[in-house]
Amino acid sequence: MAAIAFLGAGSVVFTRELLADILSFDELRDVTLALHDIDPERLATAETIAQRTAAQLDAKPAIVSSVDRRVALYGADYVINAIQVGMHAATVRDFELPARFGLRQTIGDTLGVGGIFRALRTFPVLDGIVADMRELCPDAWLLNYTNPMAMNIAYLTAVAPDVKAVGLCHSVYWTVRELSELVGAPFDEVDYTGAGVNHQAWLLRWEHRGENLYPRLDARLGADPELRRRVRMDMYRRLGWFPTETSEHSAEYVPWYLHHDTEIQRLRIPVGEYVRISAENLAAYAATRAGLLAGEPLDLSRQATEYAPQLIHSMQTGTPRRVHANVANHGLISNLPEGYAVEVPCVVDRLGLRPERVGALPPQCAAVNRGFVNVGELTVRAALDGDPRLIRQAAMVDPNTAATLTVDRIWQLCDELAEAHGDLLPEPLRGRVSA
């Protein structure tokens, strides 16, 4: 039976949801679950969650756990990557230092200086993962959930093209589900296609039984001024295609909103939102651990929605599915850079995962995406070349950072972030750099 390794299993709420999804499939009830985390307490909590989930679902998986990543990877068929290098403390640094410079962020895990430095902390760990996979499970699929998604997949494409890596994110799914509910279309009867880059893809097709649903959305927006007070509603009205990530995320990927007080008020943008989310994640972990120690049952009522369990089920059983996933752009989107990570529809079955060619995006959408991609390409190149100047140049072309800070201040901020993150970064990328 399939062997599934969880890296970063100490993200216990996410792990609980994935485990419940996996073990809810009849064909996956006796899989091997190999859990890994570098934090022994979190790992023990994750193991208890796995055991409790299996018991409540009357499933019989083999469950092992280890702080040694190699033990978890040995013989794996699927590797689910959900690590967060530096955890909450690094997230706080990514927000507090830029805030002192007057740079506003909302989520900071995908683009901007937060996304850049999160990527640079993550890349060395990805190097270790793929080296271990080549030795211990060379045929396994690497199912990546770790952000910044596009940068991570682009980096893996560059350093490990032999590893079967795919990036999984639920943003297209949830965007379509929520929009369909908003316009009164049953989601199960809706057909859709999204494409672009992760956290900035575009809803190119959205239909209910052949009816284009965009006119219904236009009518809702025309009748509800408060509904228009959201970033991605504003972007849709101006660009003509709906972006498939939340307004909180979308606000910091473009130069138009965060450095204007009036826009923050008009569009109700929650500056610094991810610091609150990260703190809530710590509280959720503590509550989950306390409930386990008290013998409380887990809430497993949530309907399966995550992609990793669906991909594993399809590859194991041959059940065909169509999902949106992140892969290298090899002729998939013609007006985005070749080789960088793009988010496109993919068919998955026993033969694996096959991305669909989309062709050209609407030109205005591709133009916005290219500003996003520029940051990621320079960040990946900084890591590949060990060139700290490229980090500063990535920040210089970042839309929100460039709209807010002078070039001198951008370099000073990168200097301080590089020093603050210290040995979490590769040695050549640490410290200050003269302009």
pLDDT tens for the 435 residues of the chain, in order: 899 999 998 787 788 889 999 999 999 999 999 999 999 999 999 999 999 999 999 999 999 999 999 999 999 999 999 999 988 899 999 999 999 999 999 999 999 999 999 999 999 999 999 999 999 999 999 999 999 999 999 999 999 999 999 999 999 999 999 999 999 999 999 999 999 999 999 999 999 999 999 999 999 999 999 999 999 999 999 999 999 999 999 999 999 999 999 999 999 999 988 888 888 878 887 888 888 777 888 777 765 578 999 999 999 999 999 999 999 999 999 999 999 999 999 999 999 999 999 999 999 999 999 999 999 999 999 999 999 999 999 999 999 999 999 999 999 999 999 999 999 999 999 988 887
**Dist. CA 218–CA 233, nearest whole Å:** 10
**Dist. CA 183–CA 298, nearest whole Å:** 34
Length of the chain: 435
What CATH code is carried by the domain that includes residue 26? 3.40.50.720
Asked if 285 and 12 touch (Cβ cutoff 8 Å), the reply is yes
Indicate the helix (H) or strand (E) that contains 87.
helix 87-100
User: Considering the domain boundaries, does residue 14 fall inside one?
Assistant: yes
**Dist. CA 287–CA 64, nearest whole Å:** 24
Tell me the residue type at 29. Answer: R
- Show the tokens assigned to 394: 């990535």
Select from 31, 33, 35 the least CA-distant residue to 65.
35
**Dist. CA 347–CA 321, nearest whole Å:** 6
- Let me know if 121 is exposed, middle or buried by CB neighbors in 10 A (0-12, 13-18, 19+): buried
pLDDT at residue 279, as a whole number:
81
Max intra-chain CA distance, the chain:
62
Tell me: the pLDDT tens digits for 254-305? 999 999 999 999 999 999 888 888 888 788 878 888 887 778 887 777 655 7
Catalytic residues: 170
Asked if 402 and 414 touch (Cβ cutoff 8 Å), the reply is no
Chain centre distance of CA 214 = 26
pLDDT at residue 265, as a whole number:
96
**Dist. CA 188–CA 339, nearest whole Å:** 33
Task: Tell me 161's DSSP state.
Answer: T
Asked if 175 and 305 touch (Cβ cutoff 8 Å), the reply is no
Chain centre distance of CA 339 = 19
Tell me: the pLDDT tens digits for 354-405? 999 999 999 999 999 999 999 999 999 999 999 999 999 999 999 999 999 9
**Dist. CA 172–CA 56, nearest whole Å:** 31
User: Considering the domain boundaries, does residue 94 fall inside one?
Assistant: yes
**Dist. CA 246–CA 79, nearest whole Å:** 27
Asked if 378 and 393 touch (Cβ cutoff 8 Å), the reply is yes
147 belongs to an annotated ligand binding site: yes
Asked if 44 and 36 touch (Cβ cutoff 8 Å), the reply is no
- Helix/strand number for the chain, H first, E second: 17, 13
User: Considering the domain boundaries, does residue 205 fall inside one?
Assistant: no
User: Considering the domain boundaries, does residue 420 fall inside one?
Assistant: no
Could you give phi then psi for residue 360, rounded to 5 degrees? -90, 135
Asked if 57 and 29 touch (Cβ cutoff 8 Å), the reply is yes
152 belongs to an annotated ligand binding site: no
User: Considering the domain boundaries, does residue 27 fall inside one?
Assistant: yes
User: Considering the domain boundaries, does residue 80 fall inside one?
Assistant: yes
Q: How many structural domains are present in the chain?
A: 1
Close Cβ partners of 228 (under 8 Å, ≥ 6 residues apart): 221, 234, 237
- Let me know if 29 is exposed, middle or buried by CB neighbors in 10 A (0-12, 13-18, 19+): middle
User: Considering the domain boundaries, does residue 62 fall inside one?
Assistant: yes
The SS3 assignment for 198 reads coil
Q: Per-residue b/e over 213-243, b at no fewer than 16 CB within 10 Å?
A: bbebbeebbeeeeeebebbbbbbbeebebbb
User: Considering the domain boundaries, does residue 23 fall inside one?
Assistant: yes
Task: Put residue 113 in one of left, alpha, beta given phi > 0 → left and psi -120 to 50 → alpha.
Answer: alpha
pLDDT at residue 13, as a whole number:
77
Indicate the helix (H) or strand (E) that contains 33.
strand 32-36
End-to-end CA distance of the chain: 56
Q: Which residues constitute the domain of residue 43?
A: 3-167
Total Cβ atoms within 10 A of residue 259: 17
Task: Put residue 390 in one of left, alpha, beta given phi > 0 → left and psi -120 to 50 → alpha.
Answer: alpha
Indicate the helix (H) or strand (E) that contains 88.
helix 87-100
